[in-house]
Amino acid sequence: MALPTTDFPVPTRPHMPGTSDAADMSRESPGPGRSFDLAIDAGIVIPVRPARTVLRDHTVLVRDGQIEALLPTAATPDLDVRERVSLPEHLLMPGLVNLHTHAAMALMRGLSDDLPLMRWLQEHIWPAEAKFVSDPFVETGTRLACAEMLRGGITCFNDMYFFPEAAARAALQAGMRASLGMIAIEFPTAYATDAQDYLARGIATRDALRSEPLLSFCFAPHAPYTVSDDTFARIRTYAQQLDTPVHVHLHETPQEIADSLAAFGVRPIERLDRLGLIGAETIAVHAVHLDEQDIETLARRGAHVAHCPSSNLKLASGFAPIARLAATGVNVGLGTDSAASNNRLDLFSELRLASLLGKAVSSSADAIPAFDAIEMATLGGARALGLDGRIGSLEQGKAADIIALDMSAIELQPCYDPVSQLVYVAGREQVTDAWVAGRRCLHDRRLTTMDMAALSLEVAEWRHRLAAHADGRG
């Protein structure tokens, strides 16, 4: 998908390292008589597009939930603005995009740690889900995840779980942007009886909620080892008809590949490619164990990868060849996976790990530089979801999904390059404010859209029930 164009000119005059000259990088001032809903003044702005741009002492102007302009703050004092927010010690950037979550599993955080993937799933997670997953479970768990994600600067998440209508209610209550998975799996659960039932329910949810501006949808076949060829073929047809991404776990473990070779005679990527499932709409989650042919197929087909470094480490899945993927042109976004396998929904941790592991795996210190990691966590995720025309960068006409980080802490001093500082030093604890479509959902670390006391009571009740089950008491 082509990137939206920008009319920011590239700076030509000399400037300090890590900064851009304000006069060079700004748009023309709005015409006289125009009014704005919001102006956010900040010491630093990283718009992501143009690439590697850093603006000093700039203002983001917002109207009707969209970015109208980025201007030097000195040029904006006389503008008609309904609300003005002054953050002179803060950095503004696009909200982060969490490209892979199972949000409701936040209720299972720490339930069964330090186990291999299949044992963890088969002996602990799937039995707990069979007993407890329901509409109320998903709504509470997703609200818990939304609270954590918003406080960590994530304004959009791509989810794969049961009862997507409950996840939708939670996301809308939080004021977050969400891409909801229309999950497919072959075995029955409390949500659906078989693969066709899963898909029918998912499509019905999409049809009911498609007018919600903060919601979008993906087909979400769970994995090659839980979805049949017939189901994949149906999903290919539906995805083409509805122009919808396909979000699937792929090449996460060596066992997955060995099982595919035994059952189908080919590796999972080749199997899905033969079925027409590897294309520009495909989001391959994890993509850890790739050979050169796998990488070539993903690149040639224009597929995307959701890189989940913390989950890959915790489950000992391995080290994804992210630098190699990026070098071949594969678009990479970042995901946390679930809080049950991470255990943090913290994309700042992921972008730091993505850069560090990319260097280590490729034995190249200049692999995955800081800006590339930021791009993965913002525009890369948006592009994979087909939302890069709306979110992922701070550009005129895009949604005002914006986060602010306080860069004044002593732990962040001195700062020579804000981009480097953001990736290698800053963390989610620096996030103070977040806006989604111009609505302030986080204000000075306080969520404005959610009742934290009530949510804590609900979470405590689910913890009691899940703990009793794990201990054999319920």
**Structure confidence at residue 417 (pLDDT):** 97
Given a cut of 60, whether residue 7 has pLDDT beyond it is: no
Given a cut of 50, whether residue 8 has pLDDT beyond it is: no
> How do residues 276-299 score in pLDDT, each as one tens digit?
999 999 999 999 999 999 999 999
Q: Which domains does the chain have, with CATH numbers?
A: 22-94+399-443 (2.30.40.10), 96-384 (3.20.20.140)
**Structure confidence at residue 16 (pLDDT):** 34
Q: Where are the beta strands (DSSP E) in 287-361?
A: 304-307, 331-334
Given a cut of 50, whether residue 13 has pLDDT beyond it is: no
C-alpha closest to that of 402 among 144, 218, 177, 178: 177
Task: Identify the band that residue 352 occupies on the pLDDT scale cut at 50, 70 and 90.
Answer: very high
**Structure confidence at residue 180 (pLDDT):** 98
> How do residues 53-95 score in pLDDT, each as one tens digit?
999 999 999 999 999 999 999 999 999 999 999 999 999 999 9
Which residue bears the tokens 């590697």?
52
Q: Per residue in 154-166, is it b (16+ CB within 10 Å) or e — as a string?
A: bbbbbbbbbbbbb
Amino acid 1 reads M
Q: Are 186 and 226 in contact (CB under 8 A)?
A: yes
Given a cut of 50, whether residue 262 has pLDDT beyond it is: yes
The whole-chain average pLDDT of the chain stands at: 93
**Structure confidence at residue 120 (pLDDT):** 85
Beta strands 177-184 and 215-221, pairing class = parallel
Measured over the CA atoms of residue 41, residue 43, residue 48 and residue 52, the dihedral's sign is: positive
**Structure confidence at residue 34 (pLDDT):** 83
Helix (H) or strand (E) holding 219: strand 215-221
Amino acid 279 reads G
**Structure confidence at residue 29 (pLDDT):** 60
**Structure confidence at residue 256 (pLDDT):** 96
Mean pLDDT of 456-469: 95
Q: Are 118 and 81 in contact (CB under 8 A)?
A: no
Amino acid 175 reads G
Rg (CA), the chain: 22
> How do residues 186-207 score in pLDDT, each as one tens digit?
999 999 999 999 999 999 999 9
Burial, 345: exposed, middle or buried (Cβ in 10 Å; 0-12, 13-18, 19+)? buried
Given a cut of 80, whether residue 31 has pLDDT beyond it is: no
What distance in Å separates the CA atoms of residue 214 and residue 172, rounded to the nearest whole number? Answer: 7
**Structure confidence at residue 30 (pLDDT):** 66
Given a cut of 70, whether residue 11 has pLDDT beyond it is: no
Given a cut of 70, whether residue 19 has pLDDT beyond it is: no
DSSP 379: I
Mean pLDDT of 318-326: 97
Given a cut of 70, whether residue 260 has pLDDT beyond it is: yes
CA atoms within 13 A of residue 259's CA, in its CB half-sphere: 12
